[in-house]
Amino acid sequence: MSIKTDLKEWVREHFKIGDNPDYTDVADIFDMGFVDSFGAVEIIDYIESSYKVEITQRDIIVHGMKTLDEIAAVVDAKLLD
């Protein structure tokens, strides 16, 4: 399973999004109301514990990390380091 697929399914289940058609790989999960700031912390915790990478404040500022595409790209890049 790809990182993006894993994250997408985890976020969908954890935040009870269901089959909402607006929940896409490029949707801003915060602006769309799927996840709030507390949820952002939960997503980072999930990523760090599942993939054994550290998400820094710089990662969030530089890469945005507001869409599944952006989040998965950061994790992929960290795993390649």
Its pTM stands at 0.93
> 3-80: which CATH topology?
1.10.1200
Residue in this structure with the two tokens 């952002």, named with its chain if needed: 40
Query: In sequence order, which ranges of the chain are alpha helices (DSSP H)?
Result: 3-14, 37-51, 57-63, 68-80
- The single-letter DSSP state of residue 45 is H
Are the C-beta atoms of residues 1 and 74 closer than 8 Å to each other? Answer: no
Could you give the C-alpha distances from 78 to 24, 38, 55, 57, 71, in angstroms and in order? Answer: 23, 23, 9, 14, 11
Mean pLDDT of all residues in 58-79 = 96
Share of the chain above pLDDT 70, in %: 100
Banded model confidence at residue 14, pLDDT cuts 50, 70, 90: very high
Percentage with pLDDT > 90 across the chain:
98
